[in-house]
Structure formats: structure tokens, C-alpha cells
A and B are shown apart, each in its own frame.
Chain A
Amino acid sequence: DTAVSQTPKYLVTQMGNDKSIKCEQNLGHDTMYWYKQDSKKFLKIMFSYNNKELIINETVPNRFSPKSPDKAHLNLHINSLELGDSAVYFCASSQSGSPDTQYFGPGTRLTVL
């Protein structure tokens, strides 16, 4: 009964490929997020969706495209992968009235070769 789940846990791919990471939450939250954590452990928000609508879009290359088919899912598609995209990507969710209390998934470690 994992609260926030992500697949895959590990993703190794070549430069130039397109890949997707999936996220699902069963907490009934209406806000979901994608974060990127680099090798120095800095956590940077990429996107935030509330009830399937994009509400935060930080300065992220447009090769990254989030998609929210419903409020329990927020997927991240990445086109034309680059070496600098290698990182751990975390999905998180929260209730819309409590954005500072977030529940994180286990992360997806993306390695671009």
C-alpha cells in the first residue's frame, strides 16, 4: 500500500533517447510535483500540478513534459536525453492547502550515457 510510487526505480539510457517516468499516489491528494536531485543532493522543483492543471513550471528545458491523466498520476516524459539530465527524479504529492507537507516517492535514478 505504497503511498507514492514511481516506476522505474532505475533507468539507464543513451543520449538522444526519449524516456518516461511514471508516478502514482493513493493518498487522495490533489497536488503532485516533480523534483530533480543532483549529485550534490540539491532538490529543485521542476513542475507542480493541481487537479491535473499545471501550476508551477520552473525553468526547465521544454524537452521535459509532464502529463497528468488524472489527479492520482503525474508522469514525466523526457525527449532527446542529455548527459546533464542524469540525476534522481522524485515525485511528490500534497493536499492543496498544505503544499509544505509533501509525501515523496522513492525516486528514479536516471543515468544518461
Chain B
Amino acid sequence: LAKTTQPISMDSYEGQEVNITCSHNNIATNDYITWYQQFPSQGPRFIIQGYKTKVTNEVASLFIPADRKSSTLSLPRVSLSDTAVYYCLVGDDTDKLIFGTGTRLQVFP
């Protein structure tokens, strides 16, 4: 069974760049890598998705190396409102979609 692992928690200060990595050794060949953000008492919400190399939107960037066995979510210049839990979601080689273990990001003033 695929293991999709992330650091349990990260701390940062406002204005800094934060990089959160997800390890997904058994990612399926054709599947995308998707990241979600979850605030307390809310459901996860989609942030960004990519297949390879780099993707950027108004919220974040996603870096994916050539072997696709990991991915890094990059949040530029975080603010207090970026304090949340971040999850990666990948499909494994048995066609299962698996959420990562989640990374709790705490941003301090």
C-alpha cells in the first residue's frame, strides 16, 4: 500500500516562504499530485495541482522532480491566515487516491 508522508508540523513567521514536502514513492504513472488546505472546523479545499516540473497559481507553487516520488508545496510570504493543515493527494499504483498524513503549519507574527 502506498505511503504518502509529510512532516507533522512546521512553524514559520509572517513574510517567510514555506516549503512543505510530500513523499509518495508509489505514485501512479498517470496521476496528478494535488494539494489541499484545511482550516479548523472546515473541510479541505483545493490549492494546486500538477503532474510534473513546476506549476504556479495565485496562491502557491508546486515543484515536482522528474521521478515524481515527491512534491513540494511552496507558499510565498506566508501570513497569519495561512495557518492551516496542508495535505497532498496522490493516486497510487493500485488506483487508490490517498491523502498524505497532513502538515500543520503555524505562522507566527
Contact = CB atoms under 8 A, between A and B. Distances in A.
Contact of A106 (B31, B43, B85, B102): B43
B42 A107 contact: yes
Contacts of B43: 4, 90, 92, 104-107
Contacts, number: 46
B102 A41 contact: yes
Given A41-B85, A41-B104, A99-B97, A104 B34 contact: no
A104 B45 contact: yes
A107 B41 contact: yes
B20 interface: no
A100 interface: yes
Interface in A36-81: 41-45
A42 B43 CA distance: 13
Nearest to A100: B34
Interface on chain B toward A: helix, strand, loop, or mixed SS? strand
> Looking at chain B, what size class is its interface with the partner chain?
20 to 34
Find the residue from A42, A90, A102, A103 having the highest chain B CB count within 10 A: A102
B49 A100 contact: yes
B108 interface: no
A20 interface: no
Interface of B: 31-32, 34, 38, 41-46, 49, 85, 87, 89-91, 97, 99, 101-102, 104
Closest 6 CB pairs of A and B: A104-B43, A43-B99, A100-B34, A41-B102, A104-B44, A90-B43
16 contacts: A42-B101, A43-B102, A44-B99, A45-B99, A92-B43, A99-B91, A100-B32, A100-B90, A100-B97, A102-B89, A104-B43, A104-B45, A106-B42, A106-B43, A107-B42, A107-B43
